[in-house]
Chain A
Amino acid sequence: MSSRRPSSRQSSGGVSRISDDQIIALVSKLRHLLPEIRDNRSDKVSASKVLQETCNYIRSLHKEVEDLSDRLSQLLATIEAESAEAAIIRSLLM
């Protein structure tokens, strides 16, 4: 569970950049999430590359949610609570 956010140590009111330590922490976690960076055997991934891959990945996830919503709106002509629940439970048990 996330705790309260620590007060910003580096906010200067203006432009504050992501530091190298934070990039390293981000890379190690994103490595598990992003296929492109996971396959990259190098430990040195540039900050801008990580940010770019992250943005691309989020955009692709958004697009997929849109497409799935489209598909579901066609498949579920009338969403009755019982059938939706039954289908979800069934699919989760598979």
Chain B
Amino acid sequence: MHLPHSTLKQEFVKKWIMGLQRCKFSNKKMSIFERKKAIKLSADTAMASARKGLTCWSRALISNPDRPVPTTTRRASSACKKIVKRSRRIRRTAKCGAARKGQITRSIAQCLVRKRTQILKSLIPGGEFMNEVCLIEETLDYITSLRVQVDVMRSLASASAHN
């Protein structure tokens, strides 16, 4: 059961303010980079904590907030190219009937789904431990929470810019 956007937003704001207060930003010796890291960390923790331990991704994010964001785009696109090349080679050499072509298309699709599922698992916190059913539900919840986070941060940025 997903929370409505406004409830989640209020929870996030409450937790984020608490987190920011704990960071003690009034220490002027903090560099811009350190400040950015602290802001992002407090925002991520607030986003995860707003789910109150009900989702896998939020628990994973709280226990490991500094996970590196994977950049698998290049690998994924080269994997897809290999799949397409392989399928062309099979089509050229095989004596195909319509059924065989359907089989090849299906196996290409299955291969793509497998590869992209792996990528999705690497993007969701704690994703590598989830089964497929869990992954889909967690993905939806994670995207909703990310949107709330972006919403609030954007509001604060524009509010601060106007001051």
Contact = CB atoms under 8 A, between A and B. Distances in A.
B150 interface: yes
A19 to B, nearest CB: 8
Interface string B152-163: 111111111101
B61 interface: no
What range describes how many residues of A lie at the interface? 35 or more
The B interface is mostly helix, strand or loop, or mixed, namely: helix
A78 B1 contact: no
Interface in A15-66: 15-19, 22, 25-26, 29-30, 33, 46-48, 51-52, 54-55, 57-59, 61-62, 64-66
B131 A88 contact: no
Contacts, number: 164
Contacts of B56: 5
Nearest to A8: B131
Contacts of A68: 150, 153-154, 157
Interface residues of B, number: 65
Contacts of B117: 17-18, 51
A25 to B, nearest CB: 7
Nearest to B54: A2
Contact of A22 (B25, B136, B160): B136
Nearest to A33: B143
Given A15-B114, A18-B132, A48-B109, A84 B123 contact: no
Interface of A: 1-3, 5-6, 8-11, 15-19, 22, 25-26, 29-30, 33, 46-48, 51-52, 54-55, 57-59, 61-62, 64-66, 68-76, 78-81, 84-85, 87-88, 90-92, 94
Interface of B: 1, 3, 9, 13, 16-17, 20-21, 23, 25-26, 28, 32-33, 35-37, 39-40, 43-44, 54-56, 69, 73, 109-110, 112-114, 116-117, 119-120, 123-124, 131-137, 139-144, 146-147, 149-150, 152-161, 163
4 tightest A-B contacts by CB? A51-B116, A73-B36, A79-B25, A48-B112
